[in-house]
Amino acid sequence: MPRSRSATAAVALAAVGAVLVGCGSSATSTGGGSAAGVAQDPNAPFEVWTRSTEATAKVYEKIFKEFEAKTGVEVDYKPIFADFDKQIQQRAAAKDLPDLVVTDTGSLGVFTSQGLVGEIDKAGIAGGGDVVERAWNNGRASDGKYYAIPFSTQAMVTLIRRDWREKVGKPVPKTWDELTDLATAFTKDDPDGNGAADTYGMLVPGTTDRGYLGWWASSFVWQGGGDILKQDGDRFSVAVDSDETVKSVDYLKKMFCGDPKLVQPGALTTGTNDAHAFFETGKTGIYVTGPYMFGRFDKNLGKDKYEVVAAPKGPAGDTVLGEGENIYLMAGSPRADAQKKLAEYLISAEAQQAGMKGDPTPVVRLPVNSEVDVKAVYDDPRWETTAKVYADSARPFSSVPNFQPFRQQFSETLNSLFSTCSNDSKAELGKLAENLKKELQTQGMAK
Amino acid sequence: MTVSHPVRGTTDVGPAASGGGAVGSHPVRRRHRRRLTGSSFTGSSFTPWLFLAPAVLIFVVFKYLPMIEGIRLSLYQVRPFLGDLWVGFDNYARIMGDERFRDAIGHTLVLAFGQTIGSMVIGFALALLLEGHAKSLWFVRSAVFLPVVAATAVIGEIWRLLLFPAPEGFVNTVLSVVGLGPWTFLDSPDTSLASVMFVGVWKGAPYDMVLILAGLAGIDRQQYEASALDGATTWQRIRHVTLPALRPVITILLTLASIRGLRVFTEVYVLTGGGPAGSTDVWMTRVFTVAFERNEIGVASAGSVMLFLITFALTVVVQLYRRRKEAG
């Protein structure tokens, strides 16, 4: 028996070795292929992904149908409801990406640094001249070249339960202090009048998944004069441990650790999809978010029950995060002509308006096409507020090659600070700063 | 578990078949001898492989090839569209140097230990309570077994709701009846791991119960009667008759549970996603985050390969131990 066992083991080993060699050789022959020079095949399916909810998928479907009718190009549309980035990574690992995707501007860094998108010839895009320059910046990487075409823009606004606010007799908050004051009243003064202490002031999607907490907190950090990275010429330095950042983080920490706690229970593991429900079911009263959900909240909560306002001012102003969605033409596509055609259609005034009119949720929030008039299409003061905030106070994240690792680590540190309620924010943020410095060096952007 | 297949396919058949009777043992032995003398695949030695082929093919395509590809990826900086870069064992150094990964290993061990022991103790208690042949017991046993067959993701979502950390949460409401709570459960780094462990025990205990029930059924009743005649108390009977007789079952349970414990993913991912503050991050959730959120497939593969090697080593050790026991 022992001898036979060693013999079979040898056979098994040899087989494994053979497969290993086989894998290795096939990998070297296909590896290193670039996006350019992919064989074109007009019969290949034209696969399009959008990061969507079921409601927005219907809007996209309509737009794509219109596109098919106009051009005869068939779209194989797949709305992705959850884990969009993870699914992209899985398809990238299989070297079989969808042909075109519409997703956050925040994915630009990951896509470019992994070679998932190629450079865009901005001048060669029909109708590209109608796209406002500021929107084009959403498709521009740190090397100054364009890798994506903007589709929609937006700014973070503050949603407040108007009926609650009137009940507790507070004004619309204009400053950080008033914001905390209102959130405290929402938490303590039973604004829904049911006699139970089951309401909360601030709604925070505080999970570290995708770096959501960092997304939410960034606006506050800027309002306090802090930052994650600071631009210095064409390089960057880390600002996450500056006094201003520490002060802003401490302001936020009080919402999580003060008495009473102003955030909804479970905030530090709440994702955005779960978060919306807290607002529309009357659990929390203040929601700093993008203008994605007006339609849904109107339906489930009531249009008259909440108001949309610009961010209350912090010590350094009312800056908020302004981002949006981009159209990405993915690498390795056998349908380059269809990619360009669809992108050109999506930025046309017609498609942009159709996207804004999506019911209940628009897929184009603020149009990128200068020919489209926000006021005329929406006829809604809340959207005018959003447009004004975007014009006056919105800024994007720093344009390093890939901001995602910075946001991820920033949110992990905040998540830890807010859950342990550590007294030494400065030390924790200092530790983070060291790690971010390393990441800056890895990306070749350190001062 | 998958690891042991290549070994088992050729060696374990021997004892298993011979256990079945003399008829089974002879062909097996003959086959080994023939291969030793160097004869090729002919006649009767080819037929078994033909029957095995479908299963082997599926295993190769869905298990072994991906495993080998994983090992290959762990040695590269993976960039599917820019070409992979050879980095050797750098990925292993990086994942071992990652503080959050080391923390995650610690959590994994604590969780595996707690869930294994918890499930076994409660499973044992349930088995003692529910042993017997009455119809009603059969019904209760089925009900108790339900958590095992329910989808883990569903269980996670439901417990997430039950453990809502506010006073109006379901479990907190129940606790308030007896004057306890409200507890933070999954919301605080101090209680999150224990809460995940609780859900794991809730799901794992009935499984242990079924195996222990099978073990209990195999105990000779006369031993109980004899010890009762000798005046042994209930506790003494459990301690000196039941437990020793259950030793083989407990060994199997320990092996299965420790391997399952190391690979834990779904319940943690659904319950907390590894948060808050990384307090429930385990081996596989960390690998998942590194792969699909930090987009470092190579480093994540290194983490998976390490887990594979450890489970492999564990399996081999237990197998050797069992074989020596059986021999001795």
Q: What are phi and psi of A337, to 5 degrees?
A: -65, -40
In a shared domain, residues A234 and A137 = no
Q: Is the pTM of this model over 0.90?
A: no
In a domain, A427, yes or no: yes
Does residue A438 belong to any structural domain of this protein? Answer: yes
DSSP for A253-310? HHHHHSSS--BPTTGGG--HHHHHHHHHTTSEEEEEE-TT-HHHHHHHT-GGGEEEEP
CB contact under 8 A, A415 and B273: no
Tell me, what CATH number does A417's domain have?
Answer: 3.40.190.10
Identify whether A18 is part of a domain: no
Strands (E), chain B: 76-77, 85-86
Q: Which of A395, A417, A433 is the last residue of a domain?
A: A395
Please indicate, yes or no, whether residues A106 and A223 belong to a single structural domain of this protein.
no
How many angstroms separate the Cα of B217 from the Cα of each of A188, B138, B214?
59, 14, 5
pLDDT tens digits, one per residue of B212-221: 999 998 888 8
Same domain, A179 and A196: yes
Query: How much helix, strand and coil, in percent to the nearest 5, is found in chain A?
Result: 50, 15, 35
Regarding whether A232 and A118 lie in a shared domain, the answer is no
Our CA angle for A342, A369, A81, nearest 5°, is 55
Residue A117 is given by DSSP the state B
- Is B36 within 8 Å of A7 when comparing Cβ atoms? yes
Query: Residue A113 — pLDDT band, cuts 50, 70, 90?
Result: confident
Asked, for residue A27, whether it belongs to a domain, the answer is no
CB contact under 8 A, A32 and B83: yes
DSSP calls for A236-247: EEE-TTSHHHHH
What is the reported pLDDT for A11? 44
β A200-203/A284-289 pair status: parallel
For range A400-424, the mean pLDDT: 90
DSSP symbol at A58: H
pLDDT averaged over every residue in chain A: 89
Last residue of a domain, one of A358, A380, A395: A395
Q: How many domains does chain A have?
A: 2
- Classify residue A42: in a domain, yes or no: no
Let me know the angle formed at the C-alpha of A236 by A232 and A241, rounded to the nearest 5 degrees.
Answer: 105
Write down the pLDDT at residue B328: 66
Tell me whether residues B82 and A34 touch, CB distance under 8 A: yes
User: Does residue A119 lie within any of the structural domains?
Assistant: yes
Domain assignment present for residue A121? The answer is: yes
Crossing angle of helices B283-292 and B297-327, rounded to 10°: 150
> How high is the pLDDT of residue A30?
32
CA distance B188 to B200: 18
> Band of the pLDDT at B141, cuts 50, 70, 90?
confident
Residue B134, classified by CB atoms within 10 Å of its CB into exposed (0-12), middle (13-18) or buried (19+), is exposed
pLDDT, tens only, B34-65: 444 444 555 678 888 899 999 999 999 999 99
- Using an 8 Å CB-CB cutoff, list chain A residues near B84: 27, 31-32
Element (H, E) at B161: helix B152-162
Nearest to B278 among A24, A33, A416 (CB): A416
Q: CA-to-CA distance for A427 and A420, rounded, in angstroms?
A: 14
Please tell me what DSSP assigns to residue A125. Answer: S
What end-to-end distance do the CA atoms of chain B give, in Å? Answer: 25
Nearest CA in chain B to A420: B189
Mean pLDDT of B146-163: 91
Smallest Cβ–Cβ distance between A5 and the set B11, B273, B295 belongs to: B11
| Nearest residue on chain B to A32, alpha-carbon basis | B83
Domain that holds residue A146: 47-155+323-395
Distance separating alpha carbons of residues B249 and A28, to the nearest angstrom: 49
Per the document, the length of chain B is 328
CA–CA–CA angle B114, B176, A283 (5° rounding): 95
- What percent of chain B shows pLDDT beyond 90? 40
Residue A232 banded pLDDT, cuts 50, 70, 90: confident
Task: Kindly report the backbone phi and psi dihedral angles of residue B153, in degrees, each rounded to the nearest multiple of 5, phi listed first.
Answer: -65, -40
Ordered structural domains, chain B, with CATH? 2-73 (no CATH), 93-327 (1.10.3720.10)
Q: Which of A7, A27, A268 sits opposite B276 (nearest CB)?
A: A268
- Spatial contact of A138 and A327, defined as CB atoms under 8 Å apart: no
Q: What is the pLDDT of residue B182?
A: 85
Interface confidence, given as ipTM, is 0.70
The residue written with tokens 């884990």 in the block is A83
A61 and A136 share a domain? Answer: yes
For residue A8, being part of any structural domain is answered with no
Residues A311 and A436 in one domain: yes
Quick one: A110 and A242 in the same domain?
Answer: no
What's the pLDDT band for B102 if we cut at 50, 70, 90? very high
- Tally C-beta pairs within 8 A across A and B: 132
- Domain match, A204 and A270 both: yes
Domain match, A282 and A335 both: no
What is the pLDDT averaged over residues A12-33? Answer: 38
Query: How far is B72 from B91, CA to CA, in rounded Å?
Result: 11
Q: Domain check: are A270 and A162 in the same one? A: yes
Closest by CA to B71, choosing from B239, B285, B298, B234, is B298
Residues A222 and A292 in one domain: yes
User: Both A294 and A210 in a single domain?
Assistant: yes
